[in-house]
Structure 1
Amino acid sequence: MTQLRKITAKNHKKPGDKPAPKAEPHQPFRFRDVVKALGPGLITGASDDDPSGIGTYSQAGAQLGYGIGWTMLLTFPLMVAIQEISARVGRVTGHGISGNVCRYYSAWLLNVVVALLFIANTVNIAADLAAMADATKLLIGGHGIIYVVVFGVISVVAQIFLDYKRYVSVLKWLTLSLFAYVAALAFAHVSWGEALAGVLVPRLTWSADYFTTIVAIFGTTISPYLFFWQASQEAEDQRVDVHKQPLIDKHYGAQREFNRIRADTVVGMAFSNLIALSIIVTAAATLHAAGKTDIQTSAQAAEALRPIAGAFAEVIFALGIIGTGLLAIPVLGGATAYAVGEGRRWPVGLARKPKEAVAFYAVLALSAGIGIALNFSPINPISALYWSAVVNGVLAVPVMVLLMIMSRRKDVMGHFVIAGPLYWLGWLSTAAMLLSVLAMGVGVFVGGNT
């Protein structure tokens, strides 16, 4: 009977029929292929540990020791949820957050959100450039202001003139610079039992400094520019790939894309929190143990490591600041340019040639240029960073609420509205950020009246 079926099938073959596709041979595991499969989520997560963030984590570890490590375990699922939702909105609609807001919400709301984002990101760029310059001075000496200009110009020129795929590849490889903070652990005499207990068992201290530090950590790990960047990058990758269309128009392969986004986001946020935890533990084991609790910046943390953990630890820490700065500044500037450009419905995208998206690249250059200029002004970029954190915190809550509402609108997401555990985890992340901002407001009020 089986033989008869084979003969019948052979006789019914038509002359133009294509041969059945052969199974693809098994491909050996290659690290390069894994890195290639990762995209916006990895870069977003790594850029979260920018020089100003490194300063926050160093300060947290120096002031509070191992006991603050639990915040990294808490923020991880919250970060994953809100970033995955941002990415899905970009992939489904083919537009970033700003592009969707301008299509479905009022112009005044868009203008307020974009203006606050521009201010916060620009001040953050200024502070990151200052931290990178200070780190470079630690390594080779010289004038910090020259390094500010050099790093700022390099970041802008690379974004404007490098081929998009090559540029994304550069950003991916820059994420490896963050392993400097894992290496720094080797020079710290870590009490691993205490460090593990600090991660797994929250130890709350009812003091203004403690809650201010928690607020700073939340504000650093859950930042609005990360939402805008990842959503816009998903939309950008879709535009660049001729085989892809917005999922709302082409449903085929949606689940595969969502699985990719989730894996990319989980890896990126896990990487971000691993590095942040490494910084906290290093600072706790060295600076806190030595009684050095007055750390204000990432460069101060690097310098303070020298007499405690040795010159090599200082060098590793400083190199990490420079590497992550080169990664974070393009993300900050790019997120700003995407937000403004999409809101105005300009041609946007790092894949476009400069002459094809003049206004988009002009916004990117303007944001970086103001960030450079702030370092020449009497304004202290590090002090300004505090107000940038305030603006980021205030902006994050309405943007997250807007994002959650948008992700449930069928006219925006079609069949792919966000539901289930991811949806509720997104709202939990929003609630946590709201509580963080309220705590910050109470701290500012109480501080201003003491």
Structure 2
Amino acid sequence: MSLATHRVRRAALFRRLGPGLITGAADDDPSGIATYSQAGAQFGLNMLWSMPFLYPLVSSIQIISARIGRVTGHGLAANLRRVFPAPVVLVLVSLLFIANTINIGADLAAMGAAAELTLGWGRHVFTVLFAVISLSLQVLVPYHRYVRFLKWLTLALFAYVGVVLTVRIDWGEVAVRTVTPHLVLTGATATVIVAVFGTTISPYLLFWQASEEVEDDEADPTTDPLIDHPEQAPQELSRIRWDTYLGMAFANLVAFFIMLTTAVTLHAAGQTDIQTSADAAAALRPIAGDLAFALFSLGIIGTGLLAVPVLAGSAAYAICESQGWRIGLEHKPREAVGFYSVIGLAVLIGLAVDYSPLDPIRALFWSAVLNGVISVPLMAAMMIVASRRDAMGAFVAPLALRILGWVATACMAAAAIAMFTAWR
């Protein structure tokens, strides 16, 4: 094969990157930023181990999610409905909707608070403005155009890599603590671990990536569900693997740098508890300079604009698929009324968090803890679907992938059990 042919194929593969890359970027939403910041501030370098540990687990579970969508031509909730009784599916998607609306509200409130930090006014005004922008993009812009916008928003996450360049770091100590952390298992430690696990392996990302594989398939006239056209499998499954590995590597690398940044700034300065967005930014400003302060706010706003549509969209996919309603971001609102109604309802309910007494940073952190708990039954249900030949045909998840998926599920369950036990 000629060098020119190799380059053409690589270029074509890069153009098709999307669901995995966007899912990875959405993984570092304001909830993730707040949780990773809290972990770094509270425990210093001793939580860095979680990112290399979680990378193979989150990659495997997201690949399984993507395979389900690409193989069957249906999203995760539709496949759950085929395997499990309707009441079980209803409980699972209800848990997802509750977690997502809380997460949406916390994200929007944090975005408004970040804008206020930068401009000195208008927290509630900007919160509503960001909600309107996010909702308008989903309702008015077709998916094949909207997805390009989402890809560009992923660049906002490099803000956190940039912060590290502004401070002095002992990289030898970073390497040692990443491999051999000093932690004592207490209720507080277990809670932060659950939050880190829950914001890294989030339930909404499982539903989103499966559904976006379906959206991409339907938007491309040259592709079809693999269960009907298995000859497309080698190319498509390879693309899913590279897309997901790249997206999750991007997400975990950024998360590692967020923890590292707050460890060498906030924790080193003795500020171990982040109560508000202002606390985090105000502590960064004298230590790392105005650039770090600006990048903190930019990262919150940029990733929020990326994550809110993913949160609202995944809730809509889950609920509407479980009820057999018409779905899809490629459809106009009048063609999928129920789907867009759920998106609007999720955003509107989420806005209520901005007017509650909850501080955005604390709401973001506890939404991550909630995700860490409810992810366990959702991941277990997804693993059952991926292992069933009557659902996946010849494309049941390979043994190595199933093992990693169940290990990921077991780790999430163990973390949640440890948290509840430690607080007793």
Question: Do both proteins adopt the same fold according to a TM-score greater than 0.5, normalized to the shorter chain?
Answer: yes
**1:30-109 map, 5 Å:** 35-109=14-88
The percent identity for this pair of structures is 53
Residue 416 (1) aligns with residue 383 (2): no
C-alpha distance in 2, partners of 1:383/1:57?
A: 12
1:169-180 map, 5 Å: 169-180=148-159
- What CA deviation, in whole Å up to 9, does each residue of 1:196-219 have, x standing for no partner? 222233433233332222121111
Q: Does 1:309 align with 2:312?
A: no
For 2:227, the equivalent position in structure 1 comes to 248
Opposite residue 178 of structure 1, the aligned amino acid is L
The one-letter amino acid of 2:234's match is Q
Q: How far has the Cα of 1:386 moved from its partner?
A: 5.3
Structure 1 letter corresponding to 2:271: K
Could you say if the C-alpha distance between residues 95 and 28 of structure 1 is closer, same or farther in structure 2, counting changes exceeding 3 Å? closer
Question: Does 2:378 correspond to 1:399?
Answer: yes
The 5 A counterparts of 1:67-216 are 67-216=46-195
Q: Contact (CA 8 Å) 2:373, 2:412: kept in 1 or not?
A: no
Q: How many residues align?
A: 424
Superposition deviation, residue 384 in structure 1: 4.5
Relative to structure 2, which stretch is displaced further, 383-392 or 349-358? 383-392
| Post-superposition CA distance 1:205-238 (Å, at most 9, x none) | 2333322221211111111001010111111111
Q: Which amino acid in 1 is paired with 2:375?
A: A
> How far apart in 2 are the matches of 1:332 and 1:303?
29
Match of 2:408 in 1: 429
Is contact 1:228-1:339 (8 Å) kept? yes
Distance 1:385 1:309 in 2: 24
Q: Tell whether the 8 Å contact from 2:35 to 2:199 is kept in structure 1 after alignment.
A: yes
What is the CA distance between 1:400 and its match in structure 2? 0.9
Corresponding residue for 1:442? 421
Q: How does 1:325-344 map to 2 (within 5 A)?
A: 325-344=304-323
Residue in structure 1 matched with residue 269 of structure 2 by the alignment: 290
CA shift for structure 1 position 309:
1.1
| CA spacing shift, 1:239–1:275, aligned 2, 3 Å | same
Contact persistence 1:132–1:321 (CA under 8 A): yes
CA distance in 2, matches of 1:185, 1:379: 30
Aligned CA distance change for structure 1 residues 53 and 300 (closer, same or farther; 3 Å)? farther
Aligned to 2:326: 347
Gaps of at least 5 residues in structure 1 are 1-21
Local SS of the residue matching 1:187: coil
Query: What CA distance in whole angstroms lies between the structure 2 residues aligned with 1:387 and 1:323?
Result: 21
Rounded Cα–Cα distance in structure 1 between residues aligned with 2:176 and 2:9 = 35
1:380 Cα deviation from its structure 2 partner:
5.0
Amino acid aligned to 1:363: V
Q: Counterpart amino acid of 1:186?
A: L
Indicate the residue corresponding to 1:359 in structure 2: 338
Deviation at 1:298, TM superposition (A): 4.8
Corresponding residue number in structure 2 for 1:16: none
Give how far 1:317 is off.
Answer: 1.3
Assess, with a 3 A threshold, how the Cα gap between structure 1 residues 70 and 297 changes in structure 2: closer, same or farther.
Answer: farther
Structure number with larger C-alpha Rg: 1
Instruction: Label 1:183 to 1:390 Cα distance change in 2 as closer, same or farther (>3 A).
Output: closer
Q: Find the residue that maps to 1:203 and give its secondary structure.
A: coil
Whichever residue aligns with residue 406 of structure 1, its letter is V
User: Is 262-271 or 186-195 further displaced after alignment?
Assistant: 186-195
- What TM-score does the superposition give when structure 2 sets the normalisation length? 0.95
1:35 Cα offset (Å): 4.8
Q: Deviations over 1:163-193 (max 9, x none)?
A: 2111000000000000000001111221111
1:378 Cα deviation (Å)?
4.3
CA distance in 2: counterparts of 1:336 and 1:361, whole angstroms: 11
* Partner Cα distance (2:291, 2:220) in 1: 44
How far off is 1:279 after superposition? 0.6
Moved beyond 4 Å, runs of 4+: 22-35, 378-387
User: Structure 1 or 2: larger helix share?
Assistant: 2
User: Post-superposition shift, 1:303?
Assistant: 2.5
**Displacement of 1:374:** 2.7
Distance change >3 Å, CA 27–CA 299, structure 1 → 2: farther
For the residues of structure 2 that align with 1:156 and 1:162, how far apart are their CA atoms?
A: 10
Mapped contact 2:156–2:303 kept (Cα < 8 A): yes
Using the alignment, how far apart are the partners of 1:113 and 1:339 within structure 2?
9
Match 1:277 to one of 251, 256, 259: 256
Moved more, 301-310 or 223-232: 301-310
Q: Residue 318 of structure 1 aligns to a residue in which SS?
A: helix
| Secondary structure at the counterpart of residue 222 of structure 2 | coil
Residues in 1 aligned to 2:185 and 2:99: alpha-carbon distance in whole angstroms? 30
Contact 1:130 1:381 in 2 (8 A): yes
Give the AA of the match of 1:431.
A
Q: Deviations over 1:52-90 (max 9, x none)?
A: 211111111111111211110100000001000000001
Q: CA RMSD in A?
A: 2.0
Work out which of the residue numbers 299, 302, 313 in structure 2 matches 1:320. Answer: 299
